[in-house]
Amino acid sequence: MNQPNASAPEVISLDGLSLRLGRRTILDDLRASLTGRAIGLLGPNGAGKTSLVRTLLGFYPPASGTASVLGRPLTRGARAIRELVGYMPESDAHLAKVTAVRFVRFMAELSGVPPEAALERAHEALFYVGLGEARYRLVGTFSTGMKQMVKLAQAIVHGPELLILDEPTNGLDPPARQRMLDLVCEIKERGQTSVLLSSHLLRDVEVVCDEVLILKQGRIAACCDLEAERRANKSFVELELLEPDGAFGQALTEIGCELAILDERRMKIVMPSDVAVRDLYAAADKTGVSFRRIDHKRDSLQDIFLRAMEADNGSV
C-alpha cells in the first residue's frame, strides 16, 4: 500500500505512541508520518480514534513514545498545539443558555483572540456556517444540525492551522450532512488549514480526505495516500475457487497482485495497473484451478478498509 509523501511537511507524527487508561492499553505503538492536507482517521467503534485525538490535544499523557502536531512535540508543546488547533468534539460541548454569537466569541477569546476581534470573528464564523440569522438565539434552542454548525464555527473562529473534526456529521440529515462536508472541503481547499477528520463513515472520509490512517484495536491497520491509490488505478477482485490451491495464490503474487485470504477457497485481490482480469485466468490455467465466482471492480476506500480489518492486527 502506498505510503504518504515523506518530503511534504508533517502535520502529525506518531513515534511509538502508546496510551494506557487504568490497566487497559488503548493505543499500542503507533508509528506514522501524516502529511496530507486532509487526513482521515478511520476505524470501528473502540478502535482508539477519539483517544488518539485527545492524546494529540494533550488531554491524555502518553504511556510511552511521543507524537508531534504541526512540528510541536506533545512533551513540550501541548498548550502551543491547542493554540494552533481548532477542535470540534463528537459530543455536544456548548453553553445552552447563551446566544450563539456570545458562545463563539467566548471560545475565540479562550483561543487567544482579543475581545473586540473575537466578537467580529464570531459574527463572521456564524455567517460562514449558515447561522447568521440565528446568531442571537440561545444555543439550547437549536436543532441538532444547527448545534453541529455552532461546533464548527467555534472550531474555526480563531483561524487554526489544523482543524480536528470528531464525527462532524453525527445526527445530520442528508442535506445538512452534505452542507457540512462541503464546508470542510472548502476549508481544506483554501490551503491555510489542514484537516483531521475522525469518522466511522467511509464516504465522509473518501469525499474530504487525501490521506487515511486506519486503526484496529488500538494499532495501525493501514496508512495510505488516497490520491496515490486513485492515481494507481488499481483494480479489486473477489473470487472463489472450486477447490483450494496454494499454487494459484503464489502465481498471483509473482505477477504483482496483493492478496487477502478469506478462507481456503475465497480471496480478495488487488491488481496493479498493468495486470488485467485475463492475467488471473492465465494464472488459473497455469495452476489448473477453476473459479466458482469472480467479482471485479475498481479499488476504493471501502476495499482498503475491509482489507485492513481482515488482516492480522499490526502496523502496515
CA distance 249 to 99: 63
Topology at the third CATH level for domain 12-229:
Rossmann fold (3.40.50)
Q: What is the pTM of this model?
A: 0.77
The per-residue pLDDT for range 232-256, each reduced to its tens digit, is 656 778 889 988 888 898 999 999 9
What grid cell was written down for 162? 489544523
Percent of the chain with pLDDT over 90: 62
**Whole-number pLDDT of residue 314:** 45
Exposed (0-12), middle (13-18) or buried (19+): which is 211, by Cβ within 10 Å? buried
Mean pLDDT computed over 277-300? 84
Weakest-pLDDT range from 84-93, 136-145, 161-170, 303-312:
303-312
In the chain, ranges of CATH 3.40.50.300 domains:
12-229
| CATH class name, domain 235-298 | alpha beta
In the chain, ranges of CATH 3.30.70.100 domains:
235-298
The per-residue pLDDT for range 10-59, each reduced to its tens digit, is 999 999 999 999 999 999 999 999 999 999 999 988 899 999 999 999 99
